[in-house]
A = this chain, B = another copy of it.
Amino acid sequence: MRVEVQAEPFVPGEQLSKFHADRIDAGALVSFSGIVRSDKLDPVNMLEIEHYPGMTERAIRAIVDEAVERWQLIDCLVIHRHGQLFPGDHIMMVATLARHRGAAFAAAEFLMDFLKSRAPFWKKEFTAQGQRWVDSRQEDEAAIDRWSG
């Protein structure tokens, strides 16, 4: 269960290859990676991600532990960058390894929903118009609720 909080870039494909040791009891491998997106009409030149060093890894580990227990994951990976990122850069990734595909998909979506609004990261966009903090969205909170059923 590897968790990395880092300023350095990473390549999701390389991480995926490293992550998947050949476990013969695993049937399903899911990965997600989030990319810095820029719109043509309102280009983002840079994305700065602030985090809370004392808390970040602890918060992510708590989310990972819950996912592993809930879906009996065989393995789980979370990488999240902080610092200055540029359009096309990978912000973060998760990978889940499970016996069946339903569990691997659900766990990856669960991890994303919780990383989005329960891990102490804050994004600031730098555009031609200036700087702006990215607002949290109501649907991100709603996404959390769907897992409490």
Contacts and interface: CB of A to CB of B under 8 A. Distances in A.
Interface of A: 11-18, 20, 22-40, 87-88, 99, 101, 104-105, 108-109, 112
Given A101-B34, A105-B32, A105-B105, A11 B17 contact: yes
Number of this chain's copies in the assembly equals: 2
B35 A27 contact: yes
16 contacts: A12-B20, A13-B15, A24-B88, A25-B37, A25-B39, A26-B35, A26-B37, A27-B34, A27-B35, A27-B36, A28-B33, A30-B32, A31-B31, A101-B112, A105-B105, A105-B108
A24 to B, nearest CB: 4
Contacts of A26: 35, 37
Given A12-B17, A15-B13, A37-B99, A87 B24 contact: yes
A11 B16 CA distance: 10
A32 B101 contact: yes
